[in-house]
Amino acid sequence: MRERGVRESSIVKCEEVLEETISRVRVGNKVGENFWTERGVRQGCLLSQCLFTLLLADLDEELGREV
């Protein structure tokens, strides 16, 4: 994100949103116990989609350079 010119304050906010989150797994009508997640993005989170898009754009540029 820094290489793409994203402001440091935005990067810090992303890190704050993603660090030390509590998750649960639901299967059907049953919900599991809470557990801490130390890395990764949450499924369905809008931030997850944005970060994935940045990753794909970077990958596309890298592959384009090699072709």
Which tens digit of pLDDT belongs to each residue from 19-43? 888 888 999 999 999 999 877 787 7
Domain tally, the chain = 1
Containing H/E element for 30?
strand 30-31
pTM metric for this prediction: 0.58
**Mean pLDDT across 44-57:** 84
Q: Which domain holds residue 41?
A: 2-65
What is d(CA 51, CA 67) in angstroms, rounded to the nearest whole number?
25
SS percent in the chain: helix, strand, coil, step 5: 50, 15, 35
Look at residue 49 in the predicted model and tell me its pLDDT.
Answer: 85
Q: What is the pLDDT of residue 66?
A: 59
